[in-house]
Structure 1
Amino acid sequence: MSDINRIKERINFCIKGELWEQIPKFFEELHPADIAEIINHASGSVHTKLFELIEDEIKPDVLAELDDQTEADILEDLSDEEISDIVEEMAPDDAADVLGELEERSKEILDLMESEDSEEVRELLQYHEDTAGGIMTPDFVAASANMTAGESIDYIGSLDLDEPFYYLYVVDAEGRLTGWIQLWELLKQANRNQTLDVLADKETISVHTDADQEEVARLATKYDLSSLPVLDWQNKLVGRITMDDIMDVIEEEASEDIFKLAGSDDSELDYSSPLHAVKTRLPWLMITLFAGFVSSVILKRFIDHHIVALSFFVPIIMAMGGNTGIQSSTLIIRGLAVGSFSDQELFKLLGRELATGALMGLICGMIIGVWSHFMVGSSSEIPAIFLAFTVGVSLFSAMMFAAVFGAFAPLLLNRANADPAVASGPFVTASIDILALLIYYGVTVTLIALRSNLLGG
């Protein structure tokens, strides 16, 4: 690894000094993924220059590893003929990803490609990029159910395969998937004369072409699969999704959720324009701003009621409520992503969050009650013990409610087929800020009214 880092440092030195003629010899010592990393981190003005210095044989591998924006910069400068030569050497799924970004130029590039290669890519382009069909490769190995293990080994040996595979898929006469066999099972001497129908595992885990890529990643992770067969609407085997694509999906979905938690999206990684960042973030900030307007109205009511001392603890009530809600929503969002609970567990889950919020609120409410008693003391217009009780009960109520709301919001959005990650971050925080203040104000007014009635009686 230290040698690779030294080579990268030398290449970066050559880029700064515009010593272009020295870079190709360093590229020869690096893996395509390392070359792609160097180009991604370089200035956009030299992306195409660096790509041209790569040997033609590895250009397809490097292009497949580039970031979206870097890839777009390079493809914009290449001719249709150059792109067709590169994508012909790429795996069909990677070629489809590249041409899917080109849109208007894709037809001309496909016409320039060899008919066999272009046909595979055309078939993949009909699927949405975020579905199983959009990320699958049509390169798979399947054999008839009545073939013996020995015959299947000879059959596999006769194939001109470009990618490694670990499962032999078993299909019937119509091409429908009936099972799968790990390669090492075929190599056992005792199995040589057994038919694939006998040897195959009939409990196949598969997805249809229209399955969401998040569901694909969840299944592959749950069942520890290195590849996942893809079926069309007739249950015919049309492709497989390999582990490298599954890992890309996991990274993409995790990145998307993280950005949504912050009120943004992952398109910011591909654009350096401040205007694009503003366009992405501002709508969520407007929610927070609106929540601030509502909060200011509620705070004004505190002042109108001459309860100045109680306003000292508003930041604590809001912060504790917001953090409690975020904890609950993050837990639920993660659970929905990995499918760790079923619909039947809904009420049990909400009950647990209610109990958790109540217990945490009780502990924190007692602490803040003691703190408010000693902080304000006799300087308040209301008795210190009453102030402590009011603040403590308010924090208890706000945290208990926030825990339930934080859990319920993503569940509700998930039921509505919306992305539950939207429920966290600015949405939950802004909502709980308002509701926590309303709870605080409601508890305060109610207790003051009760105190006045008791004193008046």
Structure 2
Amino acid sequence: MSDSNRITERITFCIKGELWEQIPKFFEELHPADIAEIINHAPSSTHNKLFDLIDDSIKPDVLAELDDQTEADILEELTDEEISDIIEEMAPDDAADVLGELEGKRSEEILELMENEESEEVRELLQYDEDTAGGIMTTDFVAASATMTAEEAIDYIGSLEFDEPLYYLYVVDAEGRMTGWIQLWELLKQANRNLSLEKMAEKETISVHTDTDQEEVARLASKYDLSSLPVLDRQNKLVGRITVDDIMDVMEEEASEDIFKLAGSNDSELEDTSPLQACKARLPWLLITLGTGFVSSLILKSFMNHITMSEVVALSFFVPIIMAMGGNTGIQSSTLIIRGIALGASHSRKVAKIITHEIIAGASMGLICGATIGLWARFMIAHNGPSAIAPSFLAVTVGIALFSAMAFAAVFGALVPVLLNRFKIDPAVASGPFVTASNDIFALLIYYGVTLAMISAVHAVV
């Protein structure tokens, strides 16, 4: 067991025993992120007590790592003066995140208590939507004129104070527009000390604008292995940068959001764990699924009107299999397409290639599974005594129905995310309850149609 785990266990023991005076010495041995995790998992009634026991010097770092609900609990008990003192020591982007969770009036009062320079930086960040590059960037960055030498740039950087680690020096013109970038270790090379930044700078820059969606920011950072991304305003002036820790937070947030959508819920459950909130988040999709159940029951009822009861009984054995296989095939296809879209495969050729791949794969799997279920259907009916349906007829009917249902589900599951993406709707909504419920209906209709077609063909031959 690691030292941090042992310390965490001791703190947990102290919380349960209300041994508050022993906790500060344990906190001194932990990273702020570990302290935040302990507070997050502690009973809500102890959040403020534990936060008070933290050394003032690391309170800003701990506050930045807390879950939204825990952070809200603590801020509610702190005075405006206490919050302003803590926020002044935070990175501008973290400070903006904290103030963004407060009511507008209280947020403004706290900003008034802060020093002018810090408050202006935070105000600038608060004007951007929280899900954009502007909303997650920090205004802590190093920009220097192209006429500077590497040695002058090193001296300049050394005179500055930053809350976030630095990776790049951005080169700008007289109007503040970025013309290039330099990795800091290049400045330190002895051979480069007298070179101008203009000669050293990489001209090919990858940047984002303040209104760029955070998901696109994360995709670019992942694609080009970037530890920091410069942010430009509408006039292409450098206004901030997005650091690797914020990029990782975005990736986690977007992944969580998509996972919740796959389950027919939303990420509000992360902030509120009450049963009522869970019901509110999940019930809409469940009601839609219930509605498709009503449609399915009507299809089965109509089915009974066209064939005899004994035939219905024999055919009903395979309804769950056909519905389940169609639903699973659709989910597989939609998940692959959604993943492709998330990775930037939005070009029509790439999407068309993936859809074609899914059609062929769906048809192939349907052929194999259809043949298998056909053989099983014949075996089961043939060894079950006399039946209203000939074993061979049932085998062919069920086999064709399953093949058709799976082939259709593959196409449907692949097309729906593409169409939603074209209409600027998050394609993650297409996976999960939507595809499953829709495929249940279509699978039944296919089974119904194949069966009636087969019966009509037999009657025509006879």
TM-score band, normalised by shorter chain? over 0.9
Q: Distance in 2 between matches of 1:210 and 1:197?
A: 28
2:51 is matched with which residue?
51
1:2 is matched with which residue?
2
2:356 is matched with which residue?
351
1:184 is matched with which residue?
185
Q: After TM superposition, which residue ranges in structure 1, 4 or more long, deviate above 3 angstroms?
A: none
Report the identity percentage. 76
- Quick one: which amino acid aligns to residue 72 of structure 1? A
Deviates more, 1:398-407 or 1:2-11: 2-11
Paired residues of 1:92 and 1:117 also in contact (CA < 8 A): yes
RMSD: 1.1
Q: Report the Cα offset of residue 362 of structure 1.
A: 0.1
Q: Distance in 2 between matches of 1:74 and 1:87?
A: 13
The answer as to 2:371 corresponding to 1:366 is: yes
The answer as to 2:208 corresponding to 1:203 is: no
- Quick one: which amino acid aligns to residue 103 of structure 2? E
1:84-103 to 2 correspondences below 5 Å: 84-103=84-103
1:410 is matched with which residue?
417
Q: Distance in 1 between matches of 2:4 and 2:187?
A: 40
Find the partner of 2:402 among 379, 395, 404. Answer: 395
The answer as to 2:433 corresponding to 1:432 is: no
Q: Distance in 2 between matches of 1:10 and 1:336?
A: 46
What secondary structure, in the 3-state scheme, does the structure 2 residue paired with 1:379 have? coil
Residue by residue, what CA displacement relative to the aligned partner does 1:305-335 show, whole Å, maximum 9, x if unpaired? 2232111100000000000000011111111
Paired residues of 1:390 and 1:444 also in contact (CA < 8 A): yes
What secondary structure, in the 3-state scheme, does the structure 2 residue paired with 1:229 have? strand
Q: Distance in 2 between matches of 1:447 and 1:351?
A: 29
Paired residues of 1:177 and 1:235 also in contact (CA < 8 A): yes
Deviates more, 1:278-287 or 1:181-190: 181-190
- Quick one: which amino acid aligns to residue 452 of structure 1? H
Residue by residue, what CA displacement relative to the aligned partner does 1:141-191 show, whole Å, maximum 9, x if unpaired? 011112122221222122223322111101111000111011121122222
Q: Distance in 1 between matches of 2:364 and 2:295?
A: 29
Residue by residue, what CA displacement relative to the aligned partner does 1:413-450 show, whole Å, maximum 9, x if unpaired? 11111111000110010001101111111111111111
Q: Report the Cα offset of residue 341 of structure 1.
A: 5.3
2:25 is matched with which residue?
25
| Runs of 5+ consecutive residues of structure 2 not aligned to the other structure | none
Find the partner of 1:452 among 440, 443, 459. Answer: 459
1:258-407 to 2 correspondences below 5 Å: 258-304=259-305, 305-306=307-308, 307-308=311-312, 309-340=314-345, 342-377=347-382, 379-407=386-414
- Quick one: which amino acid aligns to residue 302 of structure 2? R
Q: Report the Cα offset of residue 65 of structure 1.
A: 0.4
Paired residues of 1:299 and 1:311 also in contact (CA < 8 A): no
Residue by residue, what CA displacement relative to the aligned partner does 1:37-63 show, whole Å, maximum 9, x if unpaired? 110001111111111111111110000
Q: TM-score, normalised by structure 1?
A: 0.98
Q: Distance in 2 between matches of 1:422 and 1:57?
A: 44
Q: TM-score, normalised by structure 2?
A: 0.97
1:251-262 to 2 correspondences below 5 Å: 251-262=252-263
Paired residues of 1:133 and 1:208 also in contact (CA < 8 A): yes
Residue by residue, what CA displacement relative to the aligned partner does 1:83-123 show, whole Å, maximum 9, x if unpaired? 11111110000000000000231000000011110000000
Deviates more, 1:233-242 or 1:371-380: 371-380
What secondary structure, in the 3-state scheme, does the structure 1 residue paired with 2:295 have? helix
Paired residues of 2:345 and 2:351 also in contact (CA < 8 A): no
Q: Report the Cα offset of residue 25 of structure 1.
A: 1.0
- Quick one: which amino acid aligns to residue 336 of structure 1? I
Paired residues of 1:302 and 1:311 also in contact (CA < 8 A): no
Residue by residue, what CA displacement relative to the aligned partner does 1:343-374 show, whole Å, maximum 9, x if unpaired? 22232222211111000000000000000001
Residue by residue, what CA displacement relative to the aligned partner does 1:4-30 show, whole Å, maximum 9, x if unpaired? 111111111111111111111111111
| Runs of 5+ consecutive residues of structure 1 not aligned to the other structure | none
- Quick one: which amino acid aligns to residue 172 of structure 2? V
Q: Distance in 2 between matches of 1:127 and 1:275?
A: 32
Q: Distance in 1 between matches of 2:418 and 2:296?
A: 26
2:248 is matched with which residue?
247
Q: Distance in 1 between matches of 2:458 and 2:107?
A: 75
What secondary structure, in the 3-state scheme, does the structure 1 residue paired with 2:101 have? helix
Q: Report the Cα offset of residue 257 of structure 1.
A: 0.4
Q: Distance in 1 between matches of 2:386 and 2:226?
A: 67
Q: Report the Cα offset of residue 267 of structure 1.
A: 1.5
1:76 is matched with which residue?
76
Paired residues of 1:36 and 1:65 also in contact (CA < 8 A): yes
What secondary structure, in the 3-state scheme, does the structure 2 residue paired with 1:179 have? strand
1:126 is matched with which residue?
127
